[in-house]
Structure 1
């Protein structure tokens, strides 16, 4: 690919649209990106050409090695193992045929090797020339792109300075206009504020008068409402006092009734308790009399038994005395004096308790 063809593929004189502050930045960025892409593609082509030249050089060296191997084989085959005089006629003929064939093979191999070497050298020369041409074209293309890039930057910088100067002048003009407008607005604001202040003072005076009237009305209504509430509270207090007095009287009457009922019930319970106590005393007296009589009967029986036992003892002593006399003892035994049993007094039954009148057991209830 020649330099002219590359210029057709990557045009250098691309025109840009004029914007407010110079060329269109988007178009400039796209153009620069496209130039970078072209440079990268050319660098890739250069690397591919260098790689291809290296491959061809390696193939040439490999072909040279094969040619040297074939030449060595031909030389080894061309050397006779023995002399022609020592061989038979048939072997001499075969040896000559082999030598002729080896010479023919060597000639063909040398011719083919020369052809391959010449072709490889021609290809290598062409690739070297192509590589040098690509390098020169790439160098020229790089210089042109750098010059174009510098020109674009200078144009953009000049355009930016012009736009900056124009913007500064526009800013000064706008500042002056804004200052004039601000002064006018401040004057209008002062006038409007004075009018509004007067109107506000008038409205405040009216509102203050209305507020005072409303406050007086509310105070008057509150006073009247307080008087009504006080009267209502006094009536409710009077009614409450009457209700309290009525409930107090009812409570006193109820208490008196309950007191009278309690006294009556207490008297009845006292009378019942008195009757029960008298009944139990009578029963206890009767039981005591029964037990005393039974004890007296038992004492009489014991006395009779004692008298019988005394008679038996007396008879036994008499028998012993007689036996002693019969046996010839010395002094006779002393007679046992007769026991005189004492008769206890007969117990008397306990008198029955006197009954107390019921009317005297409880006091009479007293009225209020």
Structure 2
């Protein structure tokens, strides 16, 4: 409990702000860790001394209780016996030895307690002095670091203001340079655009002339090609008409010849039919049955 109260006087961990200039952060951390380690060791020694003093106090209290018990026992033994034979010389020596032993124990316990209390007080004083010294060193270092931090902060602010001023001047110079370059680029662009426009107009005129000549040439070629194809088509048509006429005449001749042959065949057939009819007429009397044949044929018919 005492160590917790004392450790509350100063935090064992102390953080420092990081700045551009100042002490080396690693060295500061190492030194603070060293001081904290020393402080922990002192607090541990003090706690050990306090625990030892508490132990001695408990031993002293135990010795006092034992002494009280011995005094009680001595008082009981010192009471006058009811009978004379109850008290003898041996008992008297025992009582004397007990009193002497009790006085020695009390004296030794008081002496040891006083020595331990003196040692504990001396150790506690040394620890407090060392603790105060460490606190003073820490405060001085903290003050030095704070001064260094303030100086570095002021220097940094001055540097930032200087850099800001230089940046503003540089920005104005860059703006002027950019404006000058922009105007030069605009002039070059206008001149280049005018030259390209003139070249483009000339190219368009040349293209129009070339296109017109090429169109006229292609029209002439198309007319000639159309005329050639018309002549070829007319020749082909005449050839096909002649071929068709020849074929028609040939087929007409063949058809006429076929008709003539069919006419001849029909005439021959008609003549043959007429001859057959004449023959039938001539042979009809020969086909009429005789009277005898009619008689023979009648029963068979019935």
Structure 1 residues 220 and 125: CA distance shift in structure 2, 3 A: farther
Superposed displacement of residue 40, structure 1: 6.3
Report what 1:288 is aligned to: none
Answer yes or no: is the 8 Å Cα contact 1:42–1:138 preserved in 2: no
Q: What TM-score, normalized by structure 1, do the two folds share?
A: 0.48
CA displacement, residues 161-215 of structure 1 (integer Å, 9 cap, x when unaligned): 0111112122222322332333233223322332222222222222232333344
Report what 1:28 is aligned to: 20
Report what 1:176 is aligned to: 176
Residue range with higher mean Cα deviation, 125-134 or 227-236? 227-236
| 75, 78, 87: which one aligns with 1:83 | 78
Answer yes or no: is the 8 Å Cα contact 1:60–1:117 preserved in 2: yes
Superposed displacement of residue 76, structure 1: 2.2
**If you compute each CA radius of gyration, which structure gives the higher value, 1 or 2?**
1
Q: How does 1:147-296 map to 2 (within 5 A)?
A: 147-220=147-220
Report what 2:40 is aligned to: 48
RMSD: 4.0
Higher relative contact order (CA 8 A, sep 6+): 2
Inter-partner Cα distance in structure 2 for 1:123 and 1:197: 103
Structure 1 residues 124 and 193: CA distance shift in structure 2, 3 A: same
Secondary structure, aligned partner of 1:28: coil
| 63, 76, 81: which one aligns with 1:70 | 63
Structure 1 residues 196 and 90: CA distance shift in structure 2, 3 A: same
Residue range with higher mean Cα deviation, 64-73 or 26-35? 26-35
Structure 1 residues 84 and 32: CA distance shift in structure 2, 3 A: same
Q: Is structure 2 residue 138 aligned with structure 1 residue 135? A: no
Superposed displacement of residue 157, structure 1: 0.6
Secondary structure, aligned partner of 2:78: coil
Aligned residues: 219
